[in-house]
Amino acid sequence: MSIPNEALQKLLQEIETRALASQQQIGITKAQMTARQRDIRMLQLTSKELSELPSETPVYEGVGKMFVNVPIDSVNKRLTRESSEASTEITNLEKKLEYHETTHRTSRDNLEQILKSGGKA
């Protein structure tokens, strides 16, 4: 039994649309992961530079258009917290990437299977 041409064409178009959407999401997710990894690296470098300073060194953080004197310990705590949050985000993005890669691969496999069968069900 074969599938009518209109139904087959609609099915192929839906699968192709799903594959393209997944491919776009893969690119977006990879870019987000790269940005988060860059943020972590910058936080680590900042933390390393702060650890090399004497504990009595005045440290300032930007607040709007001004700078406020802050203890080094609180800056280190903030850097550690932001780094762990970024790591958690990367973990979530990895899961999202895996989902989109699986969706893309499945869509492509379905598309190939339909084309190989010649539209027969």
Amino acid at 55: S
Confidence at residue 1, expressed as pLDDT on a 0 to 100 scale: 46
| CA nearest neighbour of 88 among 44, 29, 40, 30 | 40
Q: Answer for the pair 99, 28: CB distance below 8 angstroms, yes or no.
A: no
Confidence at residue 114, expressed as pLDDT on a 0 to 100 scale: 81
Question: What is the C-alpha to C-alpha distance for residues 56 and 101, in angstroms, rounded to an integer?
Answer: 50
In the chain, beta strands by DSSP E: 59-63, 66-70
Question: What is the C-alpha to C-alpha distance for residues 52 and 9, in angstroms, rounded to an integer?
Answer: 65
Residues 6+ apart with CB under 8 A from 57: 72
Residues with pLDDT less than 50, the chain: 1
Residues 6+ apart with CB under 8 A from 118: 2
- What is the CA angle 97-86-65, rounded to 5? 130
Question: What is the C-alpha to C-alpha distance for residues 112 and 6, in angstroms, rounded to an integer?
Answer: 18
